[in-house]
């Protein structure tokens, strides 16, 4: 854990508001836990006491830190002073070098990281030292949030409403029965930032129908971009008006309230926003450079969970077009009826390797994102460290 945490300068990390469910549902009926020292000073959280300390607290602010970090040591006095100004708030700290389990549970990628929790819901995350006065401003903003509105949104995502019953069914209904029975095993893996591949995921007739629809489509368009650190070139169906009939139906299933409720339960992310859905075809020469999918369409539709459903028939690994998962350096060929899922975050960097000019088949897939209000904390990398000594120059990555 110690090696995974890096100092971050505040200038490179603007505040990132975030709204997300904790591992437990929000607690409102229980009385606040009485903790000695909470009204003045900073309470130290450990794996033994963090759940009981956080339960029932109307407002808490947690400082994730490491003794080896100079930025953390500089911020500690300001954090302690804040506890004296906000006596009704639990001020707590987590030493991630001694308590790596807590840091992993909350997806902490760098230190210092400040997290504000209101009524069991994470409402603010900031990486790097806070500027003067920003702590007070962040707490004021947390107090001003409409928690009843957030609770209604999360309740809608947690289970299908009567209005939703008339819409398209849940994507879960199309999974093979044995896959549905085993889904509970992947939930903690998704929450831990892992990529999950579900082989032979859906019922055969559903997969064959979608493959046939993509294979026969003639509405493919080139998508390409050449930014400083991100290039891509592939073909897709992203205009809903041009979707074949079966793909239109499939899009509705991925975007149904029942599907969003299911993926919310499975991923631990609140996926109440519009689903970003498209089909893609990687021809010879097509590729997608490394990226982590962290993006937002608007304030209510930050990407939460990525899905890729491979519909390539008899695709050979030597033809390229593999999904490369950077955290484990794994090449994953595009196997027919395989569903890939992972929670969007700074640690989920991936790419699609170049398709060989000798490729004979069609590398087809349906992919996209379930979205919601959460803004996943993303560690912004601003480029290599530059070192100059006379006419010698070094770059450190």
**Distance between CA 392 and CA 388 in Å, rounded?**
6
Q: In this prediction, what percent of the chain has a pLDDT beyond 70?
A: 83
- How far the first Cα of the chain sits from its last, in Å, is 19
Residue 364 zone, left/alpha/beta (φ > 0; ψ -120 to 50; rest) = beta
Q: Residue 164 pLDDT more than 60? A: no
pLDDT in tens, 96-116: 999 988 887 777 878 888 889
For residue 36, what pLDDT band results from cuts at 50, 70 and 90?
very low
Q: Residue 121 pLDDT more than 60? A: yes
Number of H helices, E strands in the chain: 10, 19
Q: Residue 161 pLDDT more than 60? A: no
**Distance between CA 4 and CA 96 in Å, rounded?**
10
Contact indicator for 251, 337 with CB cutoff of 8 Å: no
Average pLDDT over the chain reads 82
pLDDT value of position 156: 57
pLDDT in tens, 47-65: 888 888 888 788 999 999 9
Angle CA 354–359–361, to nearest 5 = 115
For residue 19, what pLDDT band results from cuts at 50, 70 and 90?
very low
Reduced to 3 states (helix: H, G, I; strand: E, B; else coil), residue 154 is helix
pLDDT value of position 396: 85
**CA diameter of the chain:** 71
Contact indicator for 63, 44 with CB cutoff of 8 Å: no
Q: Residue 32 pLDDT more than 50? A: no
**Distance between CA 397 and CA 395 in Å, rounded?**
7
Residue 192 zone, left/alpha/beta (φ > 0; ψ -120 to 50; rest) = alpha
pLDDT value of position 71: 86
165-372 belongs to which homologous superfamily? q2cbj1_9rhob like domain (2.60.120.620)
Q: Residue 18 pLDDT more than 80? A: no
Nearest to 125 by CA among 137, 115, 139: 115
Structure tokens at 239: 């205009």
What 8-state DSSP symbol labels residue 87? T
Q: Residue 159 pLDDT more than 70? A: no
Q: Where are the domains of the chain?
A: 2-145, 165-372
Q: Residue 3 pLDDT more than 50? A: no
Q: Which CATH number fits domain 2-145: 3.40.30.10, 3.20.20.140, 2.40.100.10, 3.40.50.300?
A: 3.40.30.10
Contact indicator for 252, 275 with CB cutoff of 8 Å: no
List the single range of 1-10, 246-255, 345-354 with lowest mean pLDDT: 1-10
For residue 88, what pLDDT band results from cuts at 50, 70 and 90?
confident
pLDDT value of position 38: 41
Summarize the confidence of residues 137-141 as an average pLDDT: 85
Give the relative orientation of helices 257-267 and 147-158 as an angle to the nearest 10 degrees: 100
Reduced to 3 states (helix: H, G, I; strand: E, B; else coil), residue 302 is strand
pLDDT value of position 158: 52
Q: 296 or 111: whose pLDDT is higher?
A: 111
For residue 14, what pLDDT band results from cuts at 50, 70 and 90?
very low
Summarize the confidence of residues 251-263 as an average pLDDT: 92
**Distance between CA 322 and CA 350 in Å, rounded?**
10
Contact indicator for 272, 152 with CB cutoff of 8 Å: no
Give the relative orientation of helices 70-85 and 134-144 as an angle to the nearest 10 degrees: 50
Summarize the confidence of residues 352-369 as an average pLDDT: 96
Alpha-helical (H) ranges within 42-173 are 50-54, 70-85, 100-105, 134-144, 147-158
* Long-range contacts at 188-192 (CB < 8 A, ≥ 24 apart): 190/266, 190/267, 190/268, 190/305, 190/341, 190/342, 190/343, 191/23, 191/267, 191/268, 191/343, 192/104
Summarize the confidence of residues 259-266 as an average pLDDT: 90
For residue 208, what pLDDT band results from cuts at 50, 70 and 90?
very high
For residue 143, what pLDDT band results from cuts at 50, 70 and 90?
confident
Summarize the confidence of residues 241-254 as an average pLDDT: 92
pLDDT in tens, 188-204: 888 888 999 999 999 99
Summarize the confidence of residues 308-332 as an average pLDDT: 95
Structure tokens at 380: 């912004």
**Distance between CA 271 and CA 182 in Å, rounded?**
21
Q: Which residues pair with 272 in a beta bridge?
A: none
Q: Which residues pair with 393 in a beta bridge?
A: 388
């Amino acid at each position: 854990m110690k090696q995974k945490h890096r100092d971050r300068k505040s200038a490179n990390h603007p505040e990132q508001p975030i709204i997300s469910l904790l591992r437990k549902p929000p607690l409102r009926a229980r009385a606040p836990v009485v903790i000695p020292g909470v009204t003045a000073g900073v309470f130290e959280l450990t794996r033994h006491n963090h759940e009981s300390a956080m339960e029932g607290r109307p407002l808490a602010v947690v400082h994730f830190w490491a003794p080896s970090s100079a930025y953390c040591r500089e911020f500690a006095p300001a954090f302690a002073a804040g506890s004296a100004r906000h006596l009704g708030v639990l001020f707590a700290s987590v030493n991630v070098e001694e308590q790596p389990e807590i840091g992993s549970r909350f997806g902490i990628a760098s230190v210092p990281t400040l997290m504000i929790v209101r009524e069991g819901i994470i409402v603010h995350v900031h990486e790097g030292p806070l500027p003067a006065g920003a702590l007070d401003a962040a707490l004021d903003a947390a107090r001003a949030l409409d928690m009843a509105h957030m609770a209604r949104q999360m309740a809608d995502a947690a289970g299908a409403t009567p209005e939703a019953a008339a819409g398209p069914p849940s994507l879960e209904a199309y999974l093979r029965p044995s896959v549905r029975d085993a889904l509970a095993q992947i939930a903690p893996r998704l929450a831990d930032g892992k990529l999950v591949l579900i082989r032979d995921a859906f019922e055969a007739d559903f997969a064959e129908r979608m493959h046939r629809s993509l294979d026969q489509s003639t509405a493919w368009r080139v998508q390409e971009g050449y930014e400083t650190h991100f290039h891509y070139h592939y073909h897709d169906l992203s205009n809903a008006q041009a979707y074949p009939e079966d793909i239109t139906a499939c899009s509705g299933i991925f975007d149904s309230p029942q599907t969003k409720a299911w993926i919310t339960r499975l991923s631990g992310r609140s996926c109440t926003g519009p689903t970003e859905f498209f089909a893609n075809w990687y021809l010879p020469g097509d590729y997608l450079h490394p990226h982590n999918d962290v993006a937002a369409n608007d304030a209510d539709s930050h990407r939460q969970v990525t899905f890729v459903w491979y519909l390539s028939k008899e695709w050979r690994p030597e033809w390229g077009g593999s999904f490369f998962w950077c955290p484990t350096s794994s090449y994953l060929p595009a196997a027919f009826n395989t569903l890939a899922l992972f929670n969007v975050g700074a640690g989920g960097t991936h790419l699609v390797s170049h398709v060989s000019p000798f490729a004979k088949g069609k590398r087809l897939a349906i992919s996209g994102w379930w979205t919601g209000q959460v803004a996943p904390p993303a560690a912004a990398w601003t480029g290599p460290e530059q070192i100059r000594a006379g006419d010698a120059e070094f770059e450190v990555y």
